[in-house]
Structure 1
Amino acid sequence: MVHGNKDINEIIFGYTILYNSDLIDSLFATVSDNLRGINKIGIAFSGGIDSTLLAKICKNMNIDTTLLTIGFPDSNDIEFSKTISRKINMNHKVLEIDKHDFSVFSKKIRDEMTCRNLSHIENCIAFSYVAQLAINNGLNVVLTANGFDELFCGYNNFRFIFNQGNDTINKTIESKILNELELINEIKQAVEKYNISIIQPFLSKGFISIAMKFPIYDKIVSDDDLLRKHIIRKIALSFEIPPEVIIRRKKALQYGSLIHKNYKEID
């Protein structure tokens, strides 16, 4: 696959980073272990590399999968996810957030939470919409790709600590995992009224243990590394995920859906 006159490997990585087949096996194993016989699911889907890779894994496992995207009508996530879902030929459902209803709905979610972390509140709002979309489509299990950014240095701030060395990076990974596990518990509480099970296969203890064994240079290569998660991008390339997904920079759910932008405007 090429992008312009350059091979996509050159664009993404600059040099070859080998991926390990053990990690691919672990991706399939953790999804299988977490589903334990469940064969009809939804996936919280933005069209980004994490949710698209999860979607392809489930498709390859012949799991009955529906991609679920939420956002405001003019959000990037909705338009991009529609394009990618067509390219990977998977069932896709969209919930467009009504701006007039958003204020009341988001305040209700916020008031039910004891946490005052803005990012956590916005994520709980987003997943409450995902839960509604799932229920409307006869689904009671939703998978997310949470964990990849934490385990494989997906966040931009990993660039700023890169020169502090591997120990600092690994401690930051551990801190971000703890924060993500806390967020997941809050999300589960926010959606329990919908009788929806939220499953995060890449935050299982077994997968975390495996991911932490991979060297930092498979994840981030410099302080100006704008893509990061190289080993995941390399695996995604082997899954024939569209190139525009593989080279797309991270945009968190609350930003890609425009929930953050609209939440700031309410009292």
Structure 2
Amino acid sequence: MQGASTDVVRRAIDTAAALPGGNGFAGEVDGRLVRDVLGRYPLFSEEDDPTTWSYDPTDLDSPNSVPAGCARTITDEIGDDGNDDQRLWDLPSPEPFEDEADAVSAIREAIEGSLGDVSGDGLAVAFSGGVDSAVVASAFDYPLYVAGFRDSHDVEAARTAADLMDRDLRIVDVSHEDIERAVPEVARAIGRTNAMDVQIALPLYLTAERARADGYDRLAVGQGADELFGGYEKVARADHRVEAETVRGAARETIRTLAQQLPRDILTLRAAGVEPVAPLLDDRVVREALRLPGSMLVSDDVRKWTFRRSARAFVPDEIATRDKKAVQYGSLVARELDRLARQAGYKRRMDDHVTKYVRSRLESTDQ
């Protein structure tokens, strides 16, 4: 079992406790494959043989992900849908906070508790200079790493934030050669070739690769804050990109997407030789985040309102309030991957030209 202990998972099953404590879990217990409600650990079985399973999809011929919050019976008898999956846990719906000060205090205490439980053994920190990674970095006096092209937003944001926090920053200068080399390695590790997933994974992979070369085998990351605390424009607007009609509903809808996003990030980091540490996805933090009403997720057009106010206990105000670009854009990896695709003959007039380039790189290295 990865994450929580088997005993904790058994109790969570017996009591239907979706957030039993810790940072999630995945593995086999009593003849079933189980994965926590947010899908914080990846878990797969063979499409036609659930008795063969792994945490790494590259171990399997036809990996089929166990859905978050579900148990998959390990049996030779396959259901009509190819699996025998049973939903065990649903995302809780606690009563929302009424008082903003109470919400800020509860979020702050949950984050303090989560950060305080993280061991520093072999730990480095992925640091983009935004509020999420800065809050995580505030608890650990270990090197901070950022990857990006030299003139990128993320490198500059990380540099200024590290200066404000008086911390050691190690910059991974990304080159076209790095991207060309890493593209097939990342695509193979995550089992995806679509442009967006590869663009997001590449800077994370290169960051982790450098940290591992420096002797660190664990990497603390700020994953989860945007989903939990209303960090996306589509949540703030509750627009056509989500089905929900309220900010709180849109946030819950986005939280459920973590089950698809986190395997990409975890498999990327593991392929680079490090194990991820995600304090902001601790059950204590998730539990309090789920209590935030829409007005405390987004206020006066400021996204992650309550989280930013809580973050002032950990980082300077200038960092707590700053906006940051998505990693694939802030690092300039998306722009330069597009450039490489076009240089290789995959022009923008072609449908999904970057994905075609990624697939060509993967195929050329698999031969």
- Find the aligned partners of 2:179 and 2:243 in 1 and give their Cα distance: 43
Which residue among 134, 137, 145 is the counterpart of 1:52?
134
- Find the aligned partners of 1:40 and 1:112 in 2 and give their Cα distance: 23
Q: Deviations over 1:173-200 (max 9, x none)?
A: 2332232232222222223233311111
C-alpha deviation, 1:264, in angstroms: 1.9
22 and 54 in structure 1: CA distance in 2 versus 1, 3 angstrom threshold: same
State the match for 1:253 in structure 2.
327
State the match for 1:234 in structure 2.
309
73 and 240 in structure 1: CA distance in 2 versus 1, 3 angstrom threshold: closer
Stretch moving more, 132-141 or 160-169: 160-169
- Find the aligned partners of 2:303 and 2:252 in 1 and give their Cα distance: 17
- Find the aligned partners of 1:146 and 1:44 in 2 and give their Cα distance: 10
State the match for 2:61 in structure 1.
none
- Find the aligned partners of 2:267 and 2:280 in 1 and give their Cα distance: 20
Is residue 41–residue 139 contact of structure 1 (8 Å, CA) maintained in 2?
yes
State the match for 1:28 in structure 2.
112
Q: Which has the higher helix share?
A: 1
State the match for 1:118 in structure 2.
195
195 and 108 in structure 1: CA distance in 2 versus 1, 3 angstrom threshold: closer
C-alpha deviation, 1:40, in angstroms: 4.5
172 and 186 in structure 1: CA distance in 2 versus 1, 3 angstrom threshold: same
24 and 162 in structure 1: CA distance in 2 versus 1, 3 angstrom threshold: farther
C-alpha deviation, 1:73, in angstroms: 1.0
176 and 120 in structure 1: CA distance in 2 versus 1, 3 angstrom threshold: farther
240 and 97 in structure 1: CA distance in 2 versus 1, 3 angstrom threshold: closer
Q: Which has the higher strand share?
A: 2
Is residue 311–residue 320 contact of structure 2 (8 Å, CA) maintained in 1?
yes
Stretch moving more, 97-106 or 74-83: 97-106
Q: Deviations over 1:178-235 (max 9, x none)?
A: 322322222222232333111112223332122111222111136xx1x311112212
C-alpha deviation, 1:242, in angstroms: 4.4
Q: How does 1:78-97 map to 2 (within 5 A)?
A: 78-97=155-174
Q: How does 1:2-151 map to 2 (within 5 A)?
A: 18=101, 20-33=104-117, 35=118, 37-56=119-138, 58=139, 63-151=140-228
Q: Bigger radius of gyration, 1 or 2?
A: 2
Q: How does 1:134-173 map to 2 (within 5 A)?
A: 134-161=211-238, 168-173=246-251
C-alpha deviation, 1:17, in angstroms: 5.5
State the match for 2:271 in structure 1.
193
- Find the aligned partners of 1:99 and 1:165 in 2 and give their Cα distance: 39
Is residue 87–residue 242 contact of structure 1 (8 Å, CA) maintained in 2?
no
Secondary structure (helix, strand or coil) at the match of 2:170 reads strand
1:202 lines up with 2:202 in the alignment: no
Is residue 179–residue 202 contact of structure 2 (8 Å, CA) maintained in 1?
no
Give the TM-score of the pair, scaled to structure 2: 0.59
* Runs of at least 5 residues in structure 1 that lack an aligned partner in the other structure: 1-15
Which gives a bigger RCO, structure 1 or 2 (Cα 8 Å, sep 6+)?
1
75 and 192 in structure 1: CA distance in 2 versus 1, 3 angstrom threshold: same
- Find the aligned partners of 2:313 and 2:281 in 1 and give their Cα distance: 23
262 and 113 in structure 1: CA distance in 2 versus 1, 3 angstrom threshold: same
123 and 78 in structure 1: CA distance in 2 versus 1, 3 angstrom threshold: same
State the match for 1:183 in structure 2.
261
C-alpha deviation, 1:46, in angstroms: 0.8
* Runs of at least 5 residues in structure 2 that lack an aligned partner in the other structure: 1-98, 342-356, 358-367
240 and 148 in structure 1: CA distance in 2 versus 1, 3 angstrom threshold: closer
Give the TM-score of the pair, scaled to structure 1: 0.80
Is residue 41–residue 64 contact of structure 1 (8 Å, CA) maintained in 2?
no
